[in-house]
Amino acid sequence: MTTPSAPPLSVLVIGAGPVGLSLAIELGLHGVSCLVLDETDGTIGFPTANRISCRTMEHLRRWGIADEARYHGFPSDYPRDTLYLTDFHGYELARFNDPANSDPAARWSSSPEGPIWSPKLFFDPILRQRIASLPSVDLRFNCQVVDIQQDEHGVTVEVIDTRSHQHERITASYLAGCDGGRSFVRRQMGIELQGQFSHDHQLSVFFKASLLRHHSFGPAVRYWILTPTLRALVVASNGNDLWCAAALGHTQQDIESRTPEEWVRLILGDDIPFEVIATSPWVGHFAVAAHYQQGRVFLVGDAAHLAWPAGGFGMNTGIGDAGNLGWKLAATVQGWAGSELLKSYEQERRPVALRNVREAGNMRSADDTFRVSEELSTDTEEGAQLRQQFRRLLEASSRGQEFTSYMPGLDLGYTYEDSPLCIADGTPALAQDPNVYVPSAKPGARAPHAWLADGRSTLDLFGQSFTLLRLGGEVPDTSLLEAAAQQQRLPLEVVDVPQPEILAQYESCLVLVRPDGHVAWRANRVPHDPDELLDRVRGVPPSIPAHRGHLPLQLFTNKAFLLSRLGGEARRRYAQVLTAWELNPTHHNVMSYLEEVGEASQQQLVQALSIDRANMFDLLNRLEQRDLVERAPDPNDKRRHVVRLTPPGKAMMNQIRTAVDDLNQDLFAGLDEQEQQTLHSLLLKLLGLLTEAE
């Protein structure tokens, strides 16, 4: 029998692992109605996902549970060291010291937080407890989703209660598949995974043992065991007597040739007693979903990407997905999002997954290089030398970098600077080094941490709305921007931060930060069109009129194509003009240089040349910063400004006129008669606009 569900809700989350719970918390903090369904009974039978990254801890800080995870889960004074051993009674090959969760040294200088160790046994209950405090979120176990249907109005799923076997239909506006690597949601949507599959067979065993009493190496969260015939990892699950052991890099036949007890005995040695609690055979994959969205259905976490379980990439990448998608779903449900906002989830997060999956693969490859011989375990001078060589090799590898640098560039340095929601400011692209993080407030980057005068972090200012930081002692009037946000119903918090060192770090006195803590825009002046700025950051698509005439738009919007049609001298002079402007290559075209001619002429230019005003808007902001144009109040409309060329701007415009003259002569040779007529007409309009600007 099928029973109808309650009135439709906003978001249905399938899967109550850490990623699904995190997405539900994001939605609940925005007041969005959300139901989380999970087919298990809620018992955490096998602890996984042990390392909580610094960036994930920053999300937990926003949710108000960072200290709960740090101090009240896994023992807060247990060292997070990693040891490489020949065996539990053999030799230490390498040691990487890492302070305990509660140790102040565990926090990074670039963050108010730092990574911690918190296996699922402790982490999931903390997330569930936070969900229980959110009135708009409900969590249900023993619910198996067996069908998903969607239309333009919503998503309907059929659910079976695994205890009563009763069927139920539930309808929501949107659905998020957080149901893991074997995602039913992904398969129902017909979205394929792309990458490498079935890379080795492994067996993980959850067991109980008083391990710390039976060896002399001291407590650690990870013990790597390396012998000529065995590569294994033993990790701490509760800091006492619960452990997980994994035999790595085998064939399926190898795994099945021994019982779980025999594998644990091989890893621990003959004299350490233990009791097997649960087992989990698994296969490593390196794959990312071809798409993250199908209509009103989204893939999140392992449903969207599968990484080798090294470095905590899987869960932490998934929680980053949740932080990105959560505020966008909330904005859509609350009615202030543009039609392109939800599409940006895949545009922003899929590149992060590709990078993280690739880096996890590099670690897996590094593990394969650690081949050991019998001599490594001998009490000889040769054995000691081999162990020193192994330590140096390990420290220089990507696996060693995980334990020495903790890869802050990978954790905090990812950026959305190519996102349509982030407005470029013309500064160079940020370097992407997994081992190095350089704080930057460049649009798309995570807003940098700095300590405020009241003891809070700048990160504590972000979360439930957009935040406009007004930095330094002298800031321009932002009332027009605030009024535009109010009119668009975009939630905006304005915060004054007078500290000069924070202004120096952020490099602009006005910085707009998104709810997920990433910078959307920065400048030293309010833009001439605040509405257009806010439209961009909330996902409103730019209006691009249809092209008139037969001249290929490439001639005006693609630098390489244009230069290829010019003669030698004209090409040289035009290239000099482009180089002098030092602009983003996507804006290297004569037409978009005319942004400064004023709004009325912009409209003429758009109609004549099909130029995207969003691109011109980005350009104008950079021209203002370089003192090539200046703004003044419009005498006919005090809410707006007019834009005038400065003397340096007029000089640059003369260079542009020269380049246009060259175009007029050299381009004609490569065009047919109809294209020549179109080009002639457009150039006449262009020169008229140049004259008007002066």
Inter-residue long-range contacts of 653-658, CB under 8 Å, 24+ positions, other chains counted: 653/593, 653/690, 653/693, 653/694, 655/576, 655/577, 655/580, 656/577, 656/590, 656/593, 656/690, 657/687, 657/690, 658/573, 658/577
Query: What confidence category does residue 675 fall into, taking pLDDT thresholds of 50, 70 and 90?
Result: low
Query: What confidence category does residue 377 fall into, taking pLDDT thresholds of 50, 70 and 90?
Result: confident
Q: Could you give the dihedral angle defined by the CA atoms of residues 74, 78, 84 and 86, in that order, rounded to the nearest 10 degrees?
A: -100
Identify whether the C-beta of residue 398 lies closer than 8 Å to the C-beta of residue 367.
no
Is pLDDT above 90 for 81? yes
Kind plus residue range of the DSSP H or E element containing 1 = none
Is pLDDT above 90 for 303? yes
Is pLDDT above 80 for 175? yes
Mean pLDDT (whole number) for 267-293: 92
Contacts of 123 (CB under 8 A, 6+ apart): 18, 49, 52, 69, 73
Q: In the structure encoding, which two tokens stand for residue 573, read together?
A: 């002079």
Mean pLDDT (whole number) for 137-141: 98
For residue 6, the model assigns a pLDDT of 46
For residue 580, the model assigns a pLDDT of 40
Helix ranges (DSSP H) in 101-167: 120-132
Is pLDDT above 50 for 689? no
Residues 12-48 have pLDDT tens digits of: 999 999 999 999 999 999 999 999 999 999 998 888 8
Is pLDDT above 90 for 352? yes
Is pLDDT above 60 for 8? yes
- The predicted model scores a pTM of 0.79
Between 360 and 542, whose confidence is greater? 360
What crossing angle do the helices spanning 530-537 and 479-488 adopt, rounded to 10°?
50
Residues 590-603 have pLDDT tens digits of: 333 333 334 444 34
Provide the percentage of residues in the chain whose pLDDT is more than 90: 60
Domains annotated for the chain, with CATH where assigned, are: 2-50+119-192+290-371 (3.50.50.60), 194-285 (3.30.9.10), 418-541 (3.40.30.120), 554-693 (1.10.10.10)
Between 293 and 609, whose confidence is greater? 293
Mean residue pLDDT of the chain comes to: 83
Provide the percentage of residues in the chain whose pLDDT is more than 70: 76
Mean pLDDT (whole number) for 533-561: 57
Lowest-confidence segment of 80-84, 458-462, 598-602 by average pLDDT: 598-602
Mean pLDDT (whole number) for 121-143: 97
Lowest-confidence segment of 223-227, 506-510, 568-572 by average pLDDT: 568-572
Between 399 and 409, whose confidence is greater? 409
For residue 632, the model assigns a pLDDT of 66
For residue 600, the model assigns a pLDDT of 43
Alpha-carbon span 433 to 420, nearest angstrom: 23
For residue 585, the model assigns a pLDDT of 34
Is pLDDT above 90 for 487? yes
User: Residue 86: which of 243, 241, 230 has the closest Cα?
Assistant: 230
Is pLDDT above 60 for 219? yes
Residues 605-654 have pLDDT tens digits of: 444 333 344 444 555 565 666 666 676 666 665 555 556 667 776 666 66
Number of H helices, E strands in the chain: 22, 25
Residues 465-477 have pLDDT tens digits of: 999 999 998 999 9
643-670 burial code (b ≥16 CB/10 A, e <16): bebbeebeebbebbeebbebbbebbeee
Alpha-carbon span 547 to 607, nearest angstrom: 8
Is pLDDT above 50 for 550? no
For residue 610, the model assigns a pLDDT of 39
Alpha-carbon span 580 to 588, nearest angstrom: 11
Between 661 and 471, whose confidence is greater? 471
For residue 269, the model assigns a pLDDT of 93
For residue 284, the model assigns a pLDDT of 78
* Length, in residues, of the chain: 694
Identify whether the C-beta of residue 653 lies closer than 8 Å to the C-beta of residue 645.
yes
For residue 682, the model assigns a pLDDT of 52
At residue 656's C-alpha, the angle toward residues 652 and 658, to 5°, is: 115
Q: Exposed/middle/buried for 562, CB within 10 Å: 0-12, 13-18, 19+?
A: buried
Q: In the structure encoding, which two tokens stand for residue 6, read together?
A: 């309650």
Is pLDDT above 80 for 552? no
Is pLDDT above 80 for 379? yes
